[in-house]
Structure 1
Amino acid sequence: MKISTHLLDTSLGKPGQGIPVTLESIGTDGAGTACGAGVTDADGRVASLSETSLEPGDYRLTFATAAYFEAAHGTVFYPRIVLYISLPAARDHFHIPVLASTFSYSTYLGS
């Protein structure tokens, strides 16, 4: 399995470029273990967050958005966007888009 993502800045109507993204697997004790990372490209995308195949389970996806929002909007309300996801074994690829603006964000399972 692999995870890809992208962030779109809905206030500006353009991709969120240069945003660091980290991926952690979440153990039964709730602790996170780093298992992938990337930085959004000019299209706001990270094609693959892990170099190796992921196992089914729980994960945390963190977008470090503070520097981006400061540069793009002059203010920061969400310095990080943190998503908790649970990956079943039924798929080999999960695409997780984030639609973000200065004071809101939403996400969904893409194709």
Structure 2
Amino acid sequence: MPGPIERLSTHVLDVAAGRPAEGVGVTLVRDGDAVELGRGTTDADGRVAQLNDEPLDPGDVTLSYDVAAYMTRTHGTVFHPRITVHVRLDGARSHYHLPVLAGPFSHTTYLGS
């Protein structure tokens, strides 16, 4: 039975440099009404331990990663200044973790544990 999502965390890894991406701003919004549900900045390990300020209802959300400054500073260029990830949180878990693997010219993401 779907329940509230207590925690949504994320992690940004710079695949070109082979290290975590520190200082990347991340914003979480609910799709449809664009209500901001939380925000954070990646730490030295590239993580935001909890993006949501309050438990989340199941549904569709968007995470926006502002990687422009980080990529420009680290690699001297950026092709994707903002990475936008749309996901459906079905409520089957109380914690969702969304890692992003990013480089100056590409990115990918997956459902982590």
State TM-score, norm by structure 2.
0.93
Q: Would you tell me which structure has more strand in proportion to its own residues?
A: 1
Deviation at 1:70, TM superposition (A): 0.6
2:20 to 6, 11, 15: 15
Cα distance per residue 1:10-64 (max 9 Å; x no partner): 000000000000000112xxx4111100000000000000121011001000000
Give the 3-state SS of the residue equivalent to 2:44 in structure 1.
Answer: coil
Separation in 2, partners of 1:88, 1:7: 23
For structure 1, list consecutive stretches of 5 or more residues without a partner in the other structure: none
Aligned residues: 108
- Percentage identity across paired residues of the two chains: 51
Instruction: Map 1:80-95; keep pairs closer than 5 Å.
Output: 80-95=82-97
Provide the residue aligned with 1:69 in structure 2.
71
Gaps of 5+ in 2: none
Give deviations 1:72-109, integer Å, cap 9, x for gaps: 00001010000000100211000000001111111000
SS in 2 for 1:32: coil
1:48-63 to 2 correspondences below 5 Å: 48-63=50-65
Tell me, what secondary structure is at the counterpart of 2:73? helix
Task: Verify: 1:96 aligned to 2:98, yes or no.
Answer: yes
Letter in 2 for 1:12: A
| CA deviation after TM superposition for structure 1 residue 68, in Å | 0.4
Distance 1:8 1:64 in 2: 13
Q: Distance in 2 between matches of 1:35 and 1:21?
A: 11
Q: 4+ runs of 1 displaced by more than 4 Å?
A: none
